[in-house]
Amino acid sequence: MILLDLALQGYRDLSGSIRVRLQSGYNALVTPGAAPETVVAGLLAVLFGRRDKSPLAGKKSGGGVSLMGADGLTLRAVRDFGAGTGQLFEFMRDTRAFSPLAADAAQIEAALRGRMHLPSREVFEAVYVVRAQDLPSAARAAAAKPESEDDGPPPDPEVLKAKLAELDRTLAELKRVEALEFELDGLQKQRFDLEDKMKALAFDDSELLAAQAELKRLAYLEALPPDFGARDDLYRKLVLRRDQDLKRWQAERTAMERAGVHTEVAPLAKDWRLWVGLAVGVVAVVVAGFQHGMLRYVALADIPAFGLATLVVFRHLSQREAQDRLRFRRKLSDERQTKIVARDAAEINAVEELLKTAGLTSGKEVQQALAMRAAVQARVQGLAAEAERARQNPEVAALKDERDRLMTAIAQIEETLAGLSALPVDRPHVQAEAEAMRQRLARLLPKVAAAPAEERAPLSAWFKAALELMMSDPDTTARILSERASLIIRALSANRVVAIVYDAGGDVVMRTAQGGAAKWATMPDSVRDLVYLALRGALILALDPKTRGPVLAYGLAAALPGGQEVESQFLSTMAQAGQLVHVVRRADEAPKAKHLATAEVSA
């Protein structure tokens, strides 16, 4: 993250307004009309807000700063100290204009922290702000009120104690929330594992439901009895036998009817041959009775005449007998047809009624439908048996009981977490705020007897910030910072001091080129200042370039034993890590600066 520009108006001793543009690398910010500490304090107030949140009534005061992250994201924070308001803007590349992003103080802080990796004010000052009053040689100045503190009456220690107690309670609740969330994650994992086991043992009823749906679709076959297949086969045979018998009967009947055409008998009285024979015979007999002699032989003509009549009578009788026999045969034929039709009519009609109810016609359809129904019924029965076995599995029942127990515990934890949802989510910020509150309270409360202040280096807040930003354990952090500080101290001391060892407990040991060693308590003030700067610079160089912030420095030359030379050496080294803003009154106070920006005061 680097600063692109800074604007201030009416802040502290700044009577007018200033506006400057800054670049990456070593910047010399020349402020002839304002004290360097005013510019740095104003920049911190724009970034983090004033410590005193009350508006500056009747005073036109405010400022703005633009920042660009490692990914090119550009944000601009604007504060109106007079009204006590602020706003954060984001630069939109497509429109090439700033768009409002947040107006609430908490939202501004969250956005800067999340999107620009800007730490809390306490951490930022402990890491990136390097001032003369922070040097060990200026211990009395360091014990006084910080230059970045806004003017105002000192706070009431009792109020600070109450706020600190509230912050401690909040931290305890946040710790409880973390423990509950950790426990909840473990229970959820156990639940997921149980559900996976239950899923592996459970019966998948989707296949059973599909089979039941298919059986329901075949419900129209319920009209058919279970033995309908055998009955249908018999029905087909009965129909075939009936049709064959009827076909044979029809052929016989046709032949019989054809024969019956020639056996029709006319009434005997209407047969002229009978009457002719009788008449001729009678006439012959009568004539022979009245004649004598040879003429009497005329009577012999009655023989053929009566013979013809007799023949006609006998033929008629024969035809009548044949006709009676035909009628009898017809009667027998009709009775046979009736028997053929009635023989299996009950079974055939019953089967045909069932087929009509089921909507089936051909025997092939019947066989296919019955086979399908039997297969689906068998499938449903088999799947139902499997489902019942799965439900009766004792292992599944035990897993269900365990899952119910876990769900009860999960519900209780979630209910507890819901009651704690109003807590702030940024625990590091709350910790930093509590630590800052303790430091302010420590400065206000009477000092109790303790070990001499100079027994340890004044780096406790700095090391806590290092642990937060480097995100490593204390021993590893101390080792890395010691290695980098040893490289810096060689340059600052012209190789007279070759090593610095800082341990996690706060003890500092330096080693000289001649092989000597000294603890912090025995170091001269001039060496302490150099060791302090080396350790401060080591942390800046050790941070990730993507999250590293700009370094702000002022007033070191007047307090260091080497003066401007040591200051320039140190600041040039820091500028290699990213952006450094050296706030000075005159340009010649920063001879090694790569970029010069003059903040002229305008009305």
Structural domain of 509: 454-544
In the predicted structure, residue 83 carries a pLDDT above the cut 80: yes
Among the ranges 118-127, 271-280, 392-401, which has the highest mean pLDDT value? 118-127
Could you tell me if 402 and 459 lie in one domain?
A: no
For residue 436, pLDDT over 60 is answered with yes
Whether 308 is covered by a domain: the verdict is no
Evaluate if residue 144 carries a pLDDT over 60. no
CA gap 533, 73 in Å, rounded: 31
Within a domain: residue 272?
no
| Residue % of the chain over a pLDDT of 90 | 39
CATH of the domain at 143: 3.40.50.300
| Confidence check: pLDDT of 562 > 90 | no
Residue 58 lies in a domain: yes
Place of tokens 């139902």: 384
* Res. 559 pLDDT band, cuts 50 70 90: confident
Interacting residues of 184 by C-beta distance below 8 A, sequence separation 6+:
410, 413, 414, 417
Pick from 153-162, 246-255, 423-432, 578-587: least confident: 423-432
CB 581 within 8 A of CB 27: yes
pLDDT in tens, 394-410: 888 888 889 899 999 99
How far, CA to CA in Å, does 356 sit from each of 118, 221, 260? 85, 11, 42
Two tokens, residue 467: 């642990």
Alpha carbon of 24 to those of 2, 67, 90, 192, 558: distances in Å? Answer: 7, 11, 20, 51, 26
Query: For position 18, what pLDDT does the model report?
Result: 94
Assess whether 413 and 559 both reside in one domain: no
Task: Determine which of 17-26, 296-305, 381-390, 524-533 has the lowest per-residue pLDDT on average.
Answer: 296-305
Single residue among 391, 424, 446 that ends a domain in this structure: 446
- Model pLDDT, residue 157: 75
Higher-confidence residue: 373 or 41?
Answer: 41
Is 172 a domain residue?
Answer: yes
Q: How far is CA 182 from CA 86, 175, 195, 270, 598, in A?
A: 37, 11, 20, 129, 53
Q: What pLDDT is attached to residue 295?
A: 65
148 and 63 together in one domain? yes
How much of the chain, in percent, has pLDDT values that exceed 70? 89
Residue 533 has what pLDDT? Answer: 95
Residues 91, 186 within the same domain: no
Residue 232 lies in a domain: yes
- In this model, does residue 550 exceed pLDDT 70? yes
Q: What is the pLDDT of residue 289?
A: 72
SS3 string, 272-302, reads HHHHHHHHHHHHHHHHHHHCCHHHHHHHHHH
CA 402, 408, 413, 418 torsion-angle sign: positive
Between 180 and 368, whose confidence is greater?
Answer: 180
Please, are residues 284 and 302 in contact by the beta-carbon 8 Å criterion?
Answer: yes
Q: Tell me if 144 is assigned to some domain.
A: yes
- Say if residue 543's pLDDT is above 80: yes
Which pLDDT belongs to residue 419? 83
- Asked if residue 99 belongs to a domain, the reply is yes
| Cα–Cα distance, 601 to 603 (Å, whole number) | 7
pLDDT at 146: 47
Pair (215, 141) in one structural domain: no
> Does residue 577 contact residue 63 with C-beta atoms inside 8 Å?
no
One domain for residues 213 and 350: yes
Distance between CA atoms of residues 354 and 285, nearest Å: 81
For the purposes of burial, counting CB atoms within 10 Å of the CB of 219, is it exposed (0-12), middle (13-18) or buried (19 or more)?
Answer: exposed
Q: Check whether residue 374 and residue 522 sit in a common domain.
A: no
From 18-22, 140-144, 334-338, the region with the lowest mean pLDDT? 140-144
With H, G, I as helix, E, B as strand and everything else as coil, classify residue 88: strand
Intra-chain end-to-end CA distance of the chain, in Å: 31
Q: State whether 225 and 361 are in the same domain.
A: yes
Per-residue pLDDT, 260: 63
Average pLDDT, the chain: 84
Is the domain of 490 the same as that of 526?
Answer: yes
**53-67, 140-154, 449-463, 491-505: the lowest-pLDDT one:** 140-154
Instruction: From 396, 412, 446, give the residue that closes a domain.
Output: 446
The mean per-residue pLDDT over the stretch 292-296 comes to 67
Q: Pick from 446, 468, 498: which residue ends a domain?
A: 446
Task: Return the structure tokens found at 130.
Answer: 């390097």
Tell me: do 421 and 471 sit in the same domain: no
Tell me: do 468 and 518 sit in the same domain.
yes
Q: Does residue 388 lie within any of the structural domains?
A: yes
10 and 78 co-located in one domain: yes
Number of structural domains (the chain) is: 3
pTM, 2 dp: 0.52
Provide the total of helices (H) and of strands (E) in the chain, helices listed first: 17, 14
Q: pLDDT band at residue 140, thresholds of 50, 70 and 90?
A: very low
Q: Which pLDDT score, from 0 to 100, does residue 60 have?
A: 86
For the record, the structure tokens of 92 come out as: 């939109």
Give the model's pLDDT for residue 601. 85
